[in-house]
Amino acid sequence: MSSNLRVEARTWKFGDHINTDLILPGPVMLLPFDEQPKYAFQASRPGWVNLVRSGDILIGGHNFGTGSGRPAARSLKVLGISCIVAESINGLFFRNCINYGLYPLECPGIANMVTEGDIIAVDYDTFEVRNVSTGDALPGKRFPDMLLDILRAEGIYPLMESRDMLEPPNPETA
């Protein structure tokens, strides 16, 4: 079993109640699956997708990811976001993060502790978040091994594939 994520990276900061439709707008879902992630935050923060680098961390406010069951977490994962640390994360979005292999962490107080661009360190052994730029630290909310197992497998599909539970993707609906 591979170990839990420990990442140190720069941050992008978003506000409260960031919804799925901002991350993956309805009309964008008509485009080929591979093209959809580049429209993340097109309405609220145009051009952001071109600035993101692999490993970057996204900081959110309260109820991050509220909205629909659409694969918005996948978009952020494909863009290279390593983890999302937010004051709180919407329940459906949290589950999609786990299932798409995008590390989520609820961390009350994070919005005040981080200014966009700060480097922060997130450790999924201790669930601690440390602001490398300022030296401040906060505890995140732990979640059980059952969910970490899915994240360590890079999501539920790789996990199911490793157990020979899935058919190959249907080319007609790729």
Partner 1 sequence: MAMTMVEKILARGAGLKSVAPGDIVTVEVATAVVIDQNFMHNRMREPKRVWDPDKIVIMLDHIAPADSPMRAAMHKAARRFADKHGIRKFHDVGSDLGICHQLVADHGYALPGTVLACVDSHTCSAGAFNCAARGLGHPEMSYICATGQTWFPVGETVRYELRGALSPLLNAKDIILQIANQWGNHATLNVEFAGDGARGMSMDARRTLATMCAEISTEFAVFEADEICELHVRERNPGVEFEAQFADPHARYLDVRTIDLDTIEPLVAYPDTVVENAHPVSDATSVGIDQAFIGSCANGTLDDFEMAAKVVRGHKVAKGTRFILTPGSQSILLEAIRRGYVATLMEAGAVVTNSTCGACCGYSNGVLGPGETCITASTRNFKGRMGSPEAEIYLASPATVAASAITGTITDPRELV
Contact residues: partner 1, CB under 8 A = 17, 19, 21-22, 25-27, 29-30, 32-33, 42-44, 62-63, 66-71, 73, 88, 90-92, 95-96, 99-100, 143-144, 146-147, 155-157, 160, 164-167, 169-170, 172-174
Q: Which is nearer to partner 1, 34 or 135 (CB)?
A: 34
Minimum CB distance to partner 1, residue 62 (Å): 7
Q: Which is nearer to partner 1, 27 or 135 (CB)?
A: 27
Query: What is the enclosing helix (H) or strand (E) of 99?
Result: helix 91-100
Q: What angle do CA 139, 129, 70 make, to 5 degrees?
A: 95
Residue 25, number of CB atoms within 10 A of its CB? 17
Say if residues 133 and 13 touch (Cβ distance below 8 Å). Answer: no
Task: Give dist(CA 19, CA 4) in Å, integer.
Answer: 28
Say if residues 155 and 100 touch (Cβ distance below 8 Å). Answer: yes
